Amino acid sequence: MAQLINGKQLSAQVLAQVAEDVQQLTAERGVCPGLAVVLVGEDPASQVYVRNKVRSATTAGIRSIEHRLEASTDQQTLNALVAQLNNDPEVHGILVQLPLPPQLDEAQIIAAINPEKDVDGFHPLNVGALASAQPGLVPCTPLGCMIMLQQAHDDLSGKHAVVIGRSNIVGKPMAALLLQASCTVTTVHSRSKNIEAICRQADILVAAVGRPEMVNADWVKPGATVIDVGINAIERDGARKLVGDVDFAAVEPVAGAITPVPGGVGPMTIACLMKNTLTAARRQLSVSNLAVAVRHA
Ligand code: NDP
């Protein structure tokens, strides 16, 4: 039976450590980290995510400021809000909840966020920092996956890691972090051939696809560590259910360690958002390498 990597428990530990560090920062510097969360429109899933983020901020002692804008908001209005948050010294982290309504240009908004406050780690400067192993802010989901992997492995060096998915928010940064940890990394995607056979070679298998229970027991090498990023809402036996990209019941007997859905990567993502907000606040209180780079850009 596989070791269960419990994201609920682990995220509580991460949040407790962030809360302790926030207290210390506030005591030493008189500053409480502030996280601005911007939600445009009324997408039900986004509303749930924002509610959970605000709740976790409270647990960590981080001041969260919510900005809710109408679904019809135009680019200029959103840009003006981002500019205002960029200039607000009490805001250390800015999160614009994605996806945005279709009239808004996501890439332009992400690029408008001050990279030092980009707690999602999506700004091109942070993407470049990760790719070149420079200090920056790392996307929350892959960061959470790395913490989970460190639970199961003392040393990741030399392991063959296969990442299914190449999105900017999960697959690509995940592969970059695994490479930084000295894994041999393979990324597969919708155009890859022989995916099953490639996955079966993995010591570490990360599924970030968005296809319910796609990864079954035949895809997994016995003893491999399986990280399931997928969150898929399905109907089963007349009830709504959340499942991952991995068929948990089939894979769990084969894997050496596995994350569940729900209660796996999801809570770690939110805990890492708080970790990033603390990191951002700390860096803004001293001059970081990235700040120097940005000023000289
Ligand atoms: P995207 O849709 O942006 O990317 C999906 C990736 O999977 C793409 O690279 C795509 O390939 C690849 N893919 C699609 N179909 C196949 C297939 N049949 N075989 C192999 N590869 C395939 O999704 P995200 O990366 O944003 O999210 C992935 C999943 O993770 C979703 O379920 C999402 O809900 C979940 N998620 C969970 C989070 C959490 O906190 N737990 C946070 C973020 C996401 P191609 O590039 O060729 O199209």
How far apart are the C-alpha atoms of 242 and 233, rounded to whole Å? 5
97 tagged catalytic: yes
- pTM across the whole model: 0.95
Mutate to test the pocket of ligand 1, among 209, 242, 274 (most ligand atoms within 8 A of CB): 209
Domain 32-114 has CATH 3.40.50.10860: yes
Q: Give pLDDT, residue 296.
A: 44
Domains 32-114 and 140-265 share a fold: yes
Domain covering 140-265, topology: Rossmann fold (3.40.50)
Find out whether 98 and 237 touch, Cβ atoms under 8 Å: no
Identity of residue 33:
P
Which residue among the candidates 21, 118, 120, 245 is catalytic per the annotation? 120
What residues does ligand 1 touch, defined as CB less than 6 Å away?
141, 164-167, 169-171, 188-191, 195, 208-211, 229-232, 265-266, 269
**What is the pLDDT, as a whole number, of residue 99?**
96
**Which CA distances in Å does 233 have to 190, 213, 227, 239, 262?**
21, 11, 18, 10, 11
The single residue of 21, 97, 203, 275 carrying the catalytic annotation is 97
Ligand 1 centre distance from Cα of residue 210 (Å): 5
Q: Residue 284: in which H helix or E strand, if any? A: helix 265-285
Predicted pLDDT of residue 287: 40
Domain positions in the chain are 32-114, 140-265
The C-alpha atoms of residue 297 and residue 291 are separated, in whole angstroms, by 10
What are the per-10-residue average pLDDT scores of the chain (297 residues)?
96 98 95 98 94 96 97 98 98 97 98 98 98 97 98 96 98 98 98 98 98 98 98 94 97 98 97 98 74 46
| The pLDDT value given to residue 291 | 46
- Reference 230, options 251, 261, 202, 203; nearest CA is 261
User: In Å, how far are 68, 73, 212 from 206, measured between CA atoms?
Assistant: 34, 36, 14
